[in-house]
């Protein structure tokens, strides 16, 4: 499963990420979006297994967007964590 996730993350584009976020009512600035994509690509494993690492994005993402991102993270973690 981890190989599948890694493969997906490696091919993830900023436009695909933003489309997913917009579908979940999250609208990032260009700077936030670029930062988040880079962070995901470099830290995907820790994001899955060490959720405390999400605190590092808080200083780069507007507060309201951070809250929405965190809620989205919890939603999908609860939904899929048993498969990881």
pLDDT digits (tens, 9 = 90+) for 39-76: 999 999 999 998 788 888 999 999 999 999 999 999 99
| pLDDT range class, residue 82, cuts 50, 70, 90 | confident
> In the prediction, which pLDDT does 17 show?
98
Residue 11: how many other CB atoms lie within 10 Å: 8
pLDDT digits (tens, 9 = 90+) for 28-41: 999 999 999 999 99
Helix or strand holding residue 76 (H, E):
helix 63-80
> In the prediction, which pLDDT does 53 show?
86
**Which token pair is 45?**
């494993």
Task: Report the alpha-carbon distance of residue 2 to residue 25 in Å, rounded.
Answer: 28
Whether the predicted model's global pTM rises above the 0.75 cut: yes
């Amino acid at each position: 499963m981890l190989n599948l996730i890694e493969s997906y993350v490696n091919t993830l584009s900023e436009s695909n990420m933003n489309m997913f976020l917009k579908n979940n009512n999250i609208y990032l600035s260009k700077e936030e979006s670029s930062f988040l994509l880079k962070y995901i690509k470099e830290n995907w494993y820790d994001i899955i297994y060490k959720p405390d690492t999400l605190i590092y994005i808080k200083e780069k993402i507007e507060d309201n967007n951070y809250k929405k991102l965190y809620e989205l993270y919890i939603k999908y973690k609860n939904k899929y964590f048993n498969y990881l």
